[in-house]
Chains A and B, each alone.
Chain A
């Protein structure tokens, strides 16, 4: 059964860089699209961006200037970096599978989040 395990620093100071990693176990890494989503305490979900196995990215325009996503296919892992954090970046961060290519890699099969990590609470405080 495919599952996602995520980890990263849970407490940051303002201006530091948030860094999270998500590992894929029990299933294919290649041919899939991997997203990061966050949820501030008591608030709704916000899509941060996505990356595929070849490193191609799409980012939320409102966060694009501060976001970097990367993949390590040798470890079946993908990562998120968010720079210059402030208290407004305090949230539970989720990794999720967001899509899959067809068998020939010629088009994307779907655009929804069907597999989620357990979430990591990141708090930004001085």
Chain B
């Protein structure tokens, strides 16, 4: 199975909004509302920040939001803060009853 496609890096200034795309196919992202997003700081364990395309777990800032259109899901971080500098990964359920991750996006706060 092929990894979902994410941009390698995205940057923004404090207070700005940025968006990270996650492109798959109709057999994964486009076919199911089972897209999730994870934040990983260097040397740390990934943390779930969005599930089922747009839902936030308890305790996750409402500056994080998710959406999906056709075969592309997106994570938006609004009011960018220094602590948001991290790697972000999308994941999706697939028609083969497997899971697949995106290649990851490094977010830099300028």
Interface residues of A (CB under 8 A from B): 35, 37, 43-47, 49-50, 58-62, 94, 98, 110-114, 116-119
Q: Give A45 to B47 CA distance when docked, in angstroms.
A: 12
CA distance A63 to B38 in the complex (A): 23
The residue from A45, A61, A113 contacting B104, defined by CB atoms under 8 A apart: A45
Query: Which residue from A35, A59, A60, A112 sits with its C-beta under 8 Å from B51?
Result: A112
A44/B103 in contact, CB under 8 A: yes
Expressed in whole angstroms, the Cα–Cα distance for A77 and B77 within the complex equals 37
Q: Does B102 contact A (CB under 8 A)?
A: yes
Q: How far is the CB of B51 from chain A (nearest CB, A)?
A: 4
Residue B70 is within 8 A (CB to CB) of chain A in the complex: no
| Contacting residues, chain A, for B100 (C-beta < 8 A) | 47
On B, residues with C-beta under 8 Å from A are 1, 3, 32, 34, 36, 38, 45-48, 51-52, 57, 89, 91, 93, 96-104
Q: B47 to chain A: which residues have CB within 8 Å?
A: 116
For residue A113, which residue of chain B has the nearest CB?
A: B48
Which chain A residue shows the least CB distance to B3?
A44
- Can you pick out 25 interface pairs between chain A and chain B where the beta carbons lie within 8 Å of each other? A37-B101, A44-B101, A44-B103, A44-B104, A45-B89, A45-B104, A47-B99, A47-B101, A58-B97, A58-B98, A60-B1, A60-B98, A61-B98, A111-B34, A111-B36, A111-B93, A112-B91, A113-B38, A113-B46, A113-B91, A114-B48, A114-B51, A116-B45, A116-B47, A117-B45
